[in-house]
């Protein structure tokens, strides 16, 4: 069972973390393809290597450049020395310094953290080093070019027994070999691409948490870890703010049916969270997770006999579109239509949108409300559950929290409720207690 293993910046921040990674990889011979990030923070007020690279590249004086660049070199040299490696990066640093001073590109600068870390890790493991720029190609929008990447990468992986491929970057797909970085998802996307082309059985993503949590630990104390989650559930939760993996990092392998497991480098014995396309695995609770965001506005449009007016909704949404905004939800009644939008974006175009709505649909009235938070309750177990919405209402009512909006997707995978911003955290805690803490299943 071939596996690809990706390690985040915190997992490779210093030599002690490198040793943990070494032990993890060597404990399972199936872990053949390794994708490293650049060294992250070693302690709270530390600076990530990628941030140091940006700082050096954009230095406003030679003194600032020399000081920052020396700090970067020292970070890598300390790892090399403490691991006792016979490795000299002087030539690599000379090339990087020259390219920085010639202002090659900011994307090149940002990518060098992963590049150098890949060289060090490959040396430490005794694996083949493959420069991502030679096998992964990225278009002008920062997206993975599968047609150009897949035949080259799959061939290269078939030729090696074990390898290290740095995450986060590749090269341009126009034949110029210019270094490009992914717009979103970074090294997680690289891991997914390697998993797809290496025909692996599982993609292990190692980080500093033991998987996805049912709720934000900054809001709920010691929330449970989600054992198994589907791609659809993950999409719903990440859309509403939950973040361990960016959704872009899932797309390359979702169609391949390759599962992802989120593991903790510092607690490798923890089971973590398994992400799958579909499963018969019965969830521990009716809901899988809770997430949410603050900072939304509601445009409440009222007009008698609205339901008989053909094209009313289209005209309303066209006004929103022409202002360059996306909308979150459109709960409606017989004579009312609400459009929920992100507050800060809406404020910039507020009066323009109101004027255009009056011209487009001649409403009886338009009211605005700017104090809204949205909370998503997500779970595949909700499809067979009964009275889920009632339990949500009861949980919130017990804390005297008024529900401003409720919306349930046709997939029966989620319920989204709107509450005032001031009640956001208390609402999440109330829902968590009802469905998780007090669950008798």
pLDDT of residue 410: 63
Cα distance between residue 9 and residue 107, in whole Å: 18
For the stretch 144-166, pLDDT in tens is 999 999 999 999 999 999 999 99
0.95 exceeded by the pTM? no
Beta strands in 271-348 (DSSP E): 273-276, 289-302, 336-342
Cα distance between residue 20 and residue 265, in whole Å: 7
3-state secondary structure of 254: helix
Radius of gyration of the chain (CA): 25
Neighbouring residues of 337: CB distance < 8 A, sequence distance ≥ 6:
300, 301, 306, 312, 313, 316, 330
pLDDT of residue 242: 65
> Would you list the domain boundaries of the chain?
3-209+244-276, 289-437
For the stretch 331-358, pLDDT in tens is 888 899 999 999 999 999 999 999 999 9
For the stretch 205-260, pLDDT in tens is 999 989 999 999 999 999 999 999 988 888 888 777 666 676 677 888 887 889 99
For the stretch 17-51, pLDDT in tens is 999 999 999 999 999 999 999 999 999 999 999 99
Indicate the average pLDDT of the chain: 92
Q: Evaluate if residue 441 carries a pLDDT over 60.
A: no
Q: Which of 394, 388, 399 lies closest to 425, judged by CA?
A: 399
Query: pLDDT above 70 covers what percent of the chain?
Result: 97
Fold of the CATH domain 289-437: VC0802-like (3.30.2130)
3-state SS, 159-208, equals HCCCEECCCCEEEECCCCCCEEECCCCHHHHHHHHHHHHCCCCEEEEEEC
For the stretch 33-42, pLDDT in tens is 999 999 999 9
Do domains 3-209+244-276 and 289-437 share one topology? The answer is: no
Task: Please name the residue that has the structure tokens 């995450």.
Answer: 167
Candidates 3.40.1160.10, 3.30.479.30, 3.40.30.10, 3.30.430.20; CATH matching 3-209+244-276 = 3.40.1160.10
Please return the burial class of 280, using the count of CB atoms within 10 Å of its CB with bins 0-12, 13-18 and 19+.
Answer: exposed
pLDDT of residue 185: 66
Cα distance between residue 76 and residue 111, in whole Å: 15
């Amino acid at each position: 069972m071939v596996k690809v293993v990706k390690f985040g910046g915190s997992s490779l921040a210093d030599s002690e973390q490198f040793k943990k990674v070494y032990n993890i990889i060597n404990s399972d011979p199936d872990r053949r393809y390794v994708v490293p990030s650049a060294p992250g923070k070693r302690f709270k007020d530390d600076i990530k290597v990628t941030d140091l690279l940006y700082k050096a590249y954009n230095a406003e004086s030679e003194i600032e450049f020399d000081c920052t660049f020396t700090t970067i070199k020292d970070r890598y040299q300390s790892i090399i020395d403490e691991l006792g490696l016979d490795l000299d990066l002087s030539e690599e640093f000379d090339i990087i310094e020259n390219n920085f001073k010639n202002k090659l590109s900011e994307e090149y600068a940002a990518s060098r953290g992963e590049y150098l870390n890949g060289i060090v890790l490959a040396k430490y493991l005794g694996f083949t080093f493959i420069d991502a720029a030679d096998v992964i190609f990225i278009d002008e929008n920062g997206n993975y070019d599968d047609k150009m990447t897949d035949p080259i990468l799959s061939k290269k992986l078939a030729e090696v027994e074990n390898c290290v491929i740095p995450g986060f970057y590749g090269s341009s797909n126009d034949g110029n070999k210019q270094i490009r970085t992914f717009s979103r998802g970074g090294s997680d996307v690289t891991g997914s691409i390697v998993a797809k082309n290496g025909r692996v059985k599982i993609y292990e993503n190692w980080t500093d948490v033991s998987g996805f949590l049912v709720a934000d630990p900054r809001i709920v104390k010691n929330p449970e870890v989600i054992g198994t989650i589907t791609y659809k559930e993950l999409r719903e939760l990440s859309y509403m703010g939950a973040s361990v993996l960016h959704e872009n990092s899932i797309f390359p392998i979702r169609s391949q049916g390759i599962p992802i497991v989120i593991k903790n480098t510092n607690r490798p014995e923890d089971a973590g969270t398994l992400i799958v396309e579909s499963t018969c695995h019965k969830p521990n609770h009716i809901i899988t997770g809770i997430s949410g965001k603050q900072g939304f506005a509601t445009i409440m449009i009222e007009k008698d006999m609205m339901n008989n007016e053909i094209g009313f909704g289209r005209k309303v949404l066209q006004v929103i579109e022409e202002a360059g905004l996306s909308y979150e939800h459109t709960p409606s009644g017989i004579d009312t239509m609400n459009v929920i939008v992100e507050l800060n974006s809406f404020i910039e175009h507020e009066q323009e949108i109101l004027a255009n709505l009056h011209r487009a649909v001649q409403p009886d009235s338009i009211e605005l409300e700017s104090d809204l938070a949205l909370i998503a309750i997500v779970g595949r177990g909700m499809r067979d559950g009964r009275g889920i919405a009632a339990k949500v209402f009861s949980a919130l009512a017990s804390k005297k929290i008024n529900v401003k909006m409720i919306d349930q997707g046709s997939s029966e995978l989620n319920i989204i409720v709107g509450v005032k911003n001031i009640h956001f955290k208390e609402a999440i805690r109330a829902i968590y207690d009802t469905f998780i803490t007090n669950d008798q299943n």
